[in-house]
Structure 1
Amino acid sequence: MTDTPLWRAVSALGTRDPATPLWRGVIVLRVTTLLFALGSFIVHYDGYTNKWLAWTSFGVMTVWTVLSSALYARPTSRWPWLVGVDLVLTVALMFTSAWILTTAQFDANTPLITTVWAAVPPAAAGTRFGALGGVLAGLVVSVVTGLVRFRFDVDVARDGFLLTASGFVIGLAATMARRSADALTRALRMEAATAERERLARSIHDSVLQVLARVRKRGAEFGGEAAELAKLAGEQEIALRALVTTEPTHPSENGTTDLRAALQLLATPSVQVSTPAGEVQLPEHVTAELVAVAREALLNVEKHAGEEAHAWVLLEDLGTEVVVSVRDDGPGIEQGVLERAAAQGHLGIAESIKGRVRDLGGSVALDTAPGQGTEWEVKVPVAARGKR
């Protein structure tokens, strides 16, 4: 199963950083800005007051360019703390300009020893942490620039705007790249799982399902105990068909499961399940509780409505909330029966249905009358999708 081209594509996407092209851009930016800083260093070198410190600062810039570029080039070494060290080191080198440049050079707006090399940390922070990280790093570099120059004028403000804007844009691009890759991975995983289920369904249809269908048909013709076996075979046939045609219900990487797929497994000859065409992803525990509520309602149908009763399970995703309805065509519940049962200490429905839904922050409505069947309507707010 995992050796198919689709699963190999899913595996490849899962091990690759979608922001890798942006990291390559950060490396190119670091190297080119170092070359620009070298040109500025050569042009203004004669005017520096502390040439030894100037050489030391530029040497550190060169070594860090080589080291950080090598680390940024490898997906396994793009640690969050590395970006933090990058920013701190850059800021420290910017402060050395206070002892390198003369007062006349500051008055002439001579570039700091780091010059445009200092623009790399906001780009790296945006690539690693997103738009907010890029903006914060850009603001830090901008403020330090003003502190080193002892003034906040139009030039400093302009540079600060460009730094924060570039950090924001690069961060936004990195975030969109990761989201797009996640969406593509989910789509490929779903396609691969669907293809595998179809393969299994074809195999099972040619063997097990055909046998169950024949037992159901012949048993019903013979009657008696054979009819009972036919009924059981029919139930297993429907359950097996639902199993091989329904998406997996195990949790996804973000801890959610598909409520639609989980409810479809409740289908039997006497229970029909109607769900939306798309997935209804909810946190794993929310899905489990709603399925338990539906099972409890169906159990009450089996206990009190008789074997001939039919039930319908309906799932609706309304955007702001999900609604699960369980309706049957049984005799219904007489008014006051539930209240008397609760007063006598029989809390099965109250705790299994109302209690579960209450814990999820939802609501329950019961519509029933003698001879008109029973309908439970459970509503859970969409906010429950984010609960863990």
Structure 2
Amino acid sequence: MSWRFISLPPQDGYHMVTSFVSVADYVNRGGKNTLLIFSVKEPFVNVGVHQEVWLEVDLEFTKKMKIPVVRRDLGGGTVVITAGEHDYFIVVRQEDAPRNPTELYRKFLTPVVNVLRSYGLNADLRDQDIVVNGKKISGNGAMTRGNSVVLAGNILLSLDVDLISKCIKVPTEKFRDKMAKDMSEWLTSLEKELGYVPPRDEINRKLKEAFEKELGIKFEDSTLTPEEIELWEKLASEKAKEEWIFYKDNRHPNIHTERCVKISSAVALCHLDYKARKLLRITLKIVNKKIDEISISGDFFVMSPNGFIEYLEDRLKGVSANLEEIREVILDEFNEKKPVIFGFNENDLIDALTEIMRKPEIQEVI
């Protein structure tokens, strides 16, 4: 089977997060599976599609330093993208990709693992990440786009822990110092492991060889088609708009809180961070013993169907603040829509809502 191999020059954040969309459109129209490689021109904060910017990003710092905040179409957590990354998008036809997320990551990330091992590193796949001696050196995420599957990831060449820690929202400066120390302990890079950064051309050559050997494919060096470039430019312009960047924030502008508070005898507002396989961040407003509004955000991945989280939020709106009724709605929607989610399941969501509904501030109004 023949694949395209495309290496692009450094891009800004808006072009980086939209490049795979135009390639997915090409693949959807019968084009070849594609491995797309590039890096970034300047640092930017990359927010997951299911996250609220105000909860994740230190906007005061990023505005001061003129560091763009970019929302991608993929799930996962907030990351700070720098020139110290070697980034890739793997875009394939749906029939060529396992439906099970674990099998998907194993199939398409094994070549990346093998590239790292070729440098003598003790690299292994752990969920959707690649680790070296237990430290993360590659973060990855996947989604479906029409009839194609996209897997996005990177290899960390070098790390700027100080910049990363300053871009992420934290409760106190002391916590920020701890976060920077923790990141140094659980993240690594080729520079840290090897003492130098291999040339990008060398890494590209190794990636091509590893993918061809593992998947039984042949690459042809290629470029984006005029149609892909036209769509890419259009999408990059759209992603630079604040309506998209703050889409999740603006969907729930009246429930921005990180605490629980009883507003009146009939109204309560409450936030909960719940650790499933990934982080679930629930903000809930109860009015007259019903769910008036709910935000479900976090660093999870929803591969399909598109828009499921927003649909579920809308479906829960107006439901009685009764745990059994909430549970029934969630189970019904998961059973009907059959979402493919990496990071939590229906029982995790039920447990999170059970915990938040039992908060004293909520109990007092229901």
Which has the larger share of helix? 1
The two structures share one fold, judged by TM-score above 0.5 = no
TM-score (structure 2 length as normaliser): 0.22
- Structure number with the bigger relative contact order (C-alpha 8 A, sep ≥ 6) is 2
TM-score (structure 1 length as normaliser): 0.21
Which has the larger share of strand? 2
